[in-house]
A = this chain, B = another copy of it.
Amino acid sequence: MSIEQEVEILRKIPMFAKIEPAKLKLMAFASQRLTFKSGQALFHQGDAGDSAYIIVDGTADVLVNTPDGQLKVATFARNDITGEIAILCDVPRTASVVATSKLITLKITKELFFRMVTDFPDMGVEIMRVLAQRLEHTTAQLMAARAAK
Q: How many copies does the complex hold?
A: 2
- In the complex, A84 has a CB within 8 A of chain B: yes
CB 8 Å contact bits of A106-149 with B (1 = contact, 0 = none): 00000000100111011011011101111110111111011111
User: Is B131 in contact with A128, judged by CB distance below 8 angstroms?
Assistant: yes
Are A85 and B147 interface neighbours, CB within 8 A?
no
List residues of chain B with CB within 8 A of the CB of A71: 143, 146
A3 within 8 A of B: no
Of B132, B138, B145, which contacts A89 at CB under 8 A? Answer: B132
Q: Does A30 contact B (CB under 8 A)?
A: no
- Closest CB of chain B to A43's CB: distance in Å? 15
Interface membership of chain A positions 69-92, coded 1 if the CB is closer than 8 angstroms to chain B and 0 otherwise: 001010000000000110011010
Other than the given A66-B143, A145-B146, 17 more pairs (CB < 8 A) read A66-B147, A67-B147, A71-B146, A73-B139, A84-B128, A84-B132, A85-B135, A94-B136, A95-B139, A114-B125, A117-B121, A118-B125, A121-B124, A131-B132, A134-B135, A138-B138, A149-B149
Chain A residues with CB under 8 Å of chain B are: 64, 66-68, 71, 73, 84-85, 88-89, 91, 94-95, 114, 117-119, 121-122, 124-125, 127-129, 131-136, 138-143, 145-149
